[in-house]
Amino acid sequence: MSSLLAAFLLLTSLAFTSASTVPLRPGFYADTCPEAEFIVKDVMWRNMMREPRSVASVMRFQFHDCFVNGCDASLLLDDTPNMLGEKLSLSNIDSLRSYEVIDEVKEELEKVCPGTVSCADIVIMAARDAVVLSGGPRWEVKLGRVDSLTASQEDSNNIMPSPRANASLLIDLFERFNLSVKDMVALSGSHSIGQGRCFSIVFRLYNQSGSGKPDPAIEPKYREKLNKLCPLGGDESVTGDLDATPTTFDNRYFKDLVAGRGFLNSDQTLHTFPETRKYVILFSIDQQAFFNAFVEGMIKMGDLQSGRPGEIRSNCRMANSRPVNVLLES
């Protein structure tokens, strides 16, 4: 390919994109799309009425998006012949769900203010709304993100934690993203809403750490219940509640952990380890302390940026323009 053509492709590609270094701020769409926050909340509410779990499923997107190369909606890109996206990564395949809720938000927004609101910002607004609609705290979200041009299944595989993770692994992982032990425990409190699959817990019910025995931290009555839900050799796509009040965002999750009734190993471990236990106990007795720490953690997680060039996608599932290297290779 001639260098002239290469330079042309580079310029046209850059014309479609902008570096994602613009500082994030509340009210970013106040002039360009004042209805944006209302539309997101309205679509989330309608989906919750249709299927209560959907808001929890959408809230999870913020974690799985922001940890993998920043909050850039890379998570939402479908695979292409040239790119293995994040939807089929180890933590996401057969597990993340309700992508269609984001599609619905995007369609509504494109009708009212085309090409204006990024999918990355939709994820952040929707996560906040999921918490509010479930009875949790409300906070002002910072906006102004751009959408990635690509996604990486490999990065998602390398970064996202397994349900088998213990507290010390989780502390180290979150530290890499500037999130403290307190942030990590508070953010795990997102499991106050939603469900998990038997697939994610059978090892701890029947063969914790290769012992051939259940996790001793599970309270016996709760273990009986989980054994019935997830018999050995049974259907691992069956789901169970992550806490005793799975559609209400409250501190019941932490009370359950104190009682040995955590669903995932990565949940119960927070009570087993002294460094995290003190926050589990604090949040179990002081819901406001949980809400404050959770909001702080969500805002910090929402600040994660890759600094790579981006765009405002018109469809959250695919990039508008292709990245320079792909253009040059084709």
**Does 22 show up as a binding residue in the annotation?**
no
The residues that are catalytic are: 64
If 0-12 CB within 10 Å is exposed, 13-18 middle and 19+ buried, where does residue 303 land? middle
Which two three-digit tokens encode residue 47? 């989906």
> Which residues are registered as beta bridge partners of 18?
310
- Give whichever of 97 and 145 is closer to ligand HEM, judged by the CB atom: 97
- Give the residue, chosen from 190, 251, 287, 305, that forms a contact with ligand HEM under the rule CB under 6 A: 190
Is residue 63 a contact residue for ligand HEM (CB under 6 A)? yes
Q: Which of 146, 232, 151, 122 is nearest to 160 (CA)?
A: 151
Report DSSP letters for 185-219, one per residue: HHHHGGGGS-EEEGGGTHHHHH-GGGSSS--TTS-
Instruction: Write down the H helix ranges in the chain.
Output: 3-16, 36-50, 54-66, 99-112, 119-133, 153-159, 167-175, 181-188, 202-206, 220-229, 252-258, 265-272, 274-285, 287-302, 324-329
Is residue 132 a contact residue for ligand HEM (CB under 6 A)? no
Q: How far apart are CA 100 and CA 91, in angstroms?
A: 19
What is the nearest approach in angstroms of ligand HEM to the Cβ of residue 194? Answer: 2
- Give the residue, chosen from 36, 119, 146, 193, that forms a contact with ligand HEM under the rule CB under 6 A: 193
What is the nearest approach in angstroms of ligand HEM to the Cβ of residue 229? Answer: 12
* Region from 82-90, 146-154, 163-171, 271-279 binding ligand HEM, contact rule CB under 6 A: 163-171
Is residue 97 a contact residue for ligand HEM (CB under 6 A)? yes
Residue type, 101: V
- Give whichever of 12 and 237 is closer to ligand HEM, judged by the CB atom: 237
Give the residue nearest to ligand HEM (CB): 194
* Region from 60-68, 142-150, 208-216, 271-279 binding ligand HEM, contact rule CB under 6 A: 60-68
Backbone angles phi, psi at 248, to 5 degrees: -115, 125
Is residue 324 a contact residue for ligand HEM (CB under 6 A)? no
Binding site for ligand HEM (CB under 6 A): 53, 56-57, 59-60, 62-63, 95, 97, 161, 163, 165, 170, 187-188, 190-191, 193-197, 199-200, 242, 264, 266
